[in-house]
Amino acid sequence: MPQISEQVPAMLDEPGIPKLRVATLVGTIPLLLSILMSLGCQSGLFYDPNAEATRIAEQWRDKTFTECGDSLYYHYMPADDLGIRGFHWVPEQTFQYQGVSLSIAPVAVSNAEQLNGIEWKGTATFNCSVQRAYVSAHWNPWQDCTAYPVPFTNQVGPVASLPLMKQSGHWFSNGQSLETYTVKKITCDQVPK
């Protein structure tokens, strides 16, 4: 019995099967697949909301932290964040994090939230392996992130825990649009030595 690879050319040589039409049909298959994939992505057939949340969280990280070599840095200016003139209960600090990783934890959206335009909600958590802080003109010793307190709290935890919500096609965290979010970052040259 002939192999399929031997049968196909023989079939194409049969009368009644124009070779040009078969070649045209075969040539259009990649184009048709491309169009179908595009339509599928736009219609939500292949849409992954967790992947989009990950992308949004990574954009937030890039707007918030300065990456220099194998570390991320966050420079904290208390007067800017607290909005309290002349009262600095926490000194200006620079935090250095290494081994930063991101995890996304989606939360189910209720029927009422869906009716209010909420498409996705959850938390993006940035963890690290080690961290330290530059305070009062010197670096504190390195500590494991699991043992290091979250800055300005009495908790031990991640580098950052970012509540995320997608509503009516736009991303928010704590009611603030992530599309317009900006923060003043330090440059690598400004990182304390």
Instruction: Please give the Cα distance from 188 to 133 (Å, whole number).
Output: 16
pLDDT at 111: 97
Order the strands of the 160-167 sheet from edge to edge.
101-107, 118-127, 160-167, 170-173, 176-177
In this prediction the pTM is 0.68
In order of 43, 78, 106, 185, the CA distances from 103 in angstroms are 26, 28, 10, 23
pLDDT at 85: 47
90 pLDDT band, cuts 50/70/90, is low
Residue among 59, 60, 58, 62 nearest 73 (CA): 62
pLDDT at 187: 94
Q: Is the pLDDT of residue 97 over 90?
A: yes
pLDDT at 52: 96
Instruction: Please give the Cα distance from 90 to 78 (Å, whole number).
Output: 6
Instruction: Using alpha carbons only, give the angle 102, 99, 54 rounded to the nearest 5 degrees.
Output: 15
pLDDT at 41: 47
Burial 41-54 (b: 16+ CB within 10 A, else e): eeeeeeeebeebbb
Instruction: Please give the Cα distance from 130 to 142 (Å, whole number).
Output: 6
pLDDT, tens only, 48-88: 999 999 999 999 999 999 999 999 999 887 655 444 444 45
Residues above pLDDT 90, as percent of the chain? 46
Instruction: Please give the Cα distance from 63 to 84 (Å, whole number).
Output: 24
Q: 185, exposed or middle or buried, with CB in 10 Å at 0-12, 13-18, 19+?
A: middle
Instruction: Please give the Cα distance from 2 to 128 (Å, whole number).
Output: 61
> Which tokens belong to 177?
């649009």
Poorest-pLDDT segment among 39-43, 121-125, 139-143: 39-43
pLDDT, tens only, 156-170: 567 888 899 999 999
- Average the pLDDT over 118-138 and give the result: 92
